[in-house]
Chains A and B, each alone.
Chain A
């Protein structure tokens, strides 16, 4: 398309200004063989020199530069990767230490709690035993007191009644008959006072 426009314009340009160079229209200078050999010679010379210098001196240098940059970048990436791995390992270590110490603290706490509980238990048991003993002793005492109480009361009753009788009558009364009466009375009314 573009080429078509080119040639159309070329055609029109010739049409418009053909008078201007009608006198010197010698066709295409490209087809004039006068300097062909010279052009070929200089082309081979310049292109040859350019090829030799580029291929022997410059391109290997550029390729080396590119390679060294590539390798350096790779090295840097490797180093960065290594450092990252190192820091990861360090982090892991740190986490391990923390979790280990947490566990340790937990176990220490548990042990202390158990010890304390055991201690408390032991002390409680000792105290319980003491309390039980004391309760048992007190009960025994109460029991003996309860057992002895009627007798004492009877005795007091006998003595009181004998003295009363002595003062009332003026003679000594036989203790045994009084005690028989008191016994009889206490047996009959004992339930009222002691509840058994």
Chain B
């Protein structure tokens, strides 16, 4: 079982089966790591916002740097109109980042390596952004699909392409995160398996690879959380400042 590089993605029930109607909402290892991520985020940021000293201590600095990092990211990509959505994007970034980072600890479960989780997040963003766009611009939001300065002959084609690209947003957003996480973790598992199968003689090469991959995966974990958040900002920018 442990040799299968995909077995790390198995979801299994912890504790009894909980059923609400026809739905199984049992507590699983995925739920455990979602709760762990949430609790650590809340703990860190609660500690980081408790005291207000002019010279911040380490944890306060961490919280404030994250705050300014995300707030700068939002104002850079979506402008000042996106301020009411700051808390959502901040939570999104932190949730994805912590789930990714928890996955980097050996023997843990990576919540974001499951397509259903990333897809729910991405669809929520997609639906939310679309609703915001229609509230802000009414049917004028449909102008998003009609870029200005396109020759009339090409317009039908362009509109179709734009609509397809718009509709594929939740898929691309969710698959990007899920695939990156899954591929990285599978790679690490595979190289770990090589270390064992090649033994003390030949195992050093995959081991060094494993070490390098761990560093790369930590980078990817951060980068994918960042990409997820910044793409959300870009979609939000389309909905808030309609200028195509």
Contacts and interface: CB of A to CB of B under 8 A. Distances in A.
Contacts of A17: 3, 193, 197
Contacts of A30: 9, 113-116, 178, 182
A2 interface: yes
A3 interface: yes
Q: How big is chain A's contact interface, by range?
A: 35 or more
Interface string B209-244: 000000010000000000000000000000000000
Nearest to A31: B115
Interface string A61-80: 11111101100110000000
A55 B116 contact: no
A10 B52 contact: no
Contact of A47 (B46, B49, B91, B197): B91
B144 interface: no
Contact of A20 (B3, B35, B120): B3
B11 interface: yes
B195 interface: no
B52 A65 contact: yes
Interface in A61-101: 61-66, 68-69, 72-73
Contacts of A43: 34, 111, 117, 120-121
A21 interface: yes
Nearest to B45: A58
A31 B13 CA distance: 17
A9 B5 CA distance: 12
B190 A65 contact: no
B6 interface: yes
Nearest to A66: B64
A13 B87 CA distance: 42
Given A38-B31, A42-B30, A66-B64, 5 more contacts: A6-B187, A47-B38, A49-B38, A54-B42, A69-B52
